[in-house]
Amino acid sequence: MAGRAVAKAYTMQALVKYHGLRDWELRIPFHDSISVNTDVAFTVARVEFTSRESDVVMAGGVELKGRPRDRVLAVIDRVRALAGVEERCIVMTENHPNIRAKGMGFSASAGAAIAAAAYKAAALDKFYGWDKRLLSRIARLLAGSACRSVVGEYAKWLAGTSDEDSYAIRIGDRSALEIKYVIVPLWLDVSTETAHREAETSPFLSARIESANRRCVELEKAIHDGDFKKFGELVERDSLELHAVTMTGVYGSILMTPESLKVIDTVKKLRSRGIPAYFSMQTGPTVYVNTLPEHVEAVEEEIRSRGFETLVSGIGGEAQPLE
C-alpha cells in the first residue's frame, strides 16, 4: 500500500468537560460533552505507511515510548484494520505554537490530526468518503476530546455506550454565537489520564454525571439562542465543578495554580466593570477567558497588564488533510 498524508487539526476549549471514562480501552465517557475549536493553536500530523520493520512515533522531534506511543498506535491500528493493511508506519506531529502549557487541548488536536492523516494515507476516504463520524470514532482512541476536534466549531460528543455510538457531531457554528477568547497558557506537570482516574474516585462523580448531561442541554440551547451571558455562566460553573470533582478524588489533586486564580480574579473584576468575560478551565491550570468580539482587546490588555502571556482565538474549523 505505502501511502502518506498530512493533516491539520485545531485544539479545542472544552465547555462542558468530560471527566472519567466508562471504558478506558475505547475511551468512552460517562456523559456527553461540548467544546469549541480554537483557530490559533493546532497540530500538524504526517503519517506514512512503509515496509519498515517497526512503527515509529515522533512528537516535536522526540520519539514517543510507553503509554503515549500506545495511544497513537491505537489510532493507527484501527485504521490498519479498516483498510486491511499490515504495513508499519511513521507518525510525526508538531504543535503550533510550540508552547509549554497544560490544559490547552493539544492531545485533542493531535488525535484528530493523526486520525485524519492516517485515514487519508490508508485511502479510507475512497471507501467511506470523508466520514467525520467515523473519523471522530477513530480519533477518540487517542484522546476523548479528539473526537470533538475532528468536527470543529461547536461540537458535542455523544457519550454512547459502545464504539459505534460514541462520536462527535457539530451543533453550531460562529453564526449561532460568535465569541472570542483569550487563552492564558499555564504549566503544571500532571497527566490528564491521572486526573480522569482521580475523578472516578470522587464521591461526587455521580452528581457530576447528572449535572454535566443537564448542562449540555442548557448550553446547546444558549449557543443556538446566541445567549452569551447564559453561555458564560454555564461554562464557568462547569469548570469549577470539574476541578471540585478532581480535588475530592482519593489523592486530592489540585490542577489550579496561584496564576490560575489570579486570572480568575481578573475576570471577575472585568465583569464588575461591565465587561462580559467568563473563565473556563480544562484538566490543567491554563485559563480561557470567553468574551464577545468587541471586548476582546480590552480583556487581553487587562490580562497582559497582570504579567501574563496570552493567545487570542476565534472559532476554529474541522480537521482537514493538507496537500
* 210-215 contacts at long range (C-beta below 8 A, 24 or more positions apart): 211/241, 212/16, 212/17, 212/18, 212/19, 212/31, 212/32, 212/33, 212/238, 212/241, 213/31, 213/32, 215/16
Query: Domain 180-313, CATH 3.30.2290.10 — does that match?
Result: no
Read off the pLDDT of each residue in 119-138 and give the average, rounded to a whole number: 97
Tell me the pLDDT of the chain averaged across its residues. 96
Burial of 87 (C-beta count, 10 Å sphere; 0-12/13-18/19+) = middle
Q: Could you give the CA distance from residue 106 to residue 185 in angstroms, rounded to a whole number?
A: 12
pLDDT class of 1 with cuts at 50, 70, 90: low
Question: pLDDT per residue over 5-51, tens digit each?
Answer: 999 999 999 999 999 999 999 999 999 999 999 999 999 999 999 98
SS3 4: strand
Query: Is the peptide bond between 97 and the residue preceding it cis, with omega within 30 degrees of 0?
Result: yes
* β-strand partners of 9: 43
pLDDT at 172 over 70: yes
**Residue 196 predicted with pLDDT over 90:** no
Angle CA 48–129–143, to nearest 5: 60
CB 20 within 8 A of CB 196: yes
pLDDT of 238: 98
C-alpha–C-alpha distance, residues 155 and 309, integer Å: 27
pLDDT band at 2 (very low <50, low <70, confident <90, very high): low
Domain regions of the chain by residue span: 4-176, 180-313
What cell was used for 169? Answer: 457531531
pLDDT at 208 over 70: yes
pLDDT at 190: 83
pLDDT of residue 191: 84
Prediction pTM value: 0.96
Q: Does domain 4-176 have CATH number 3.20.20.140?
A: no
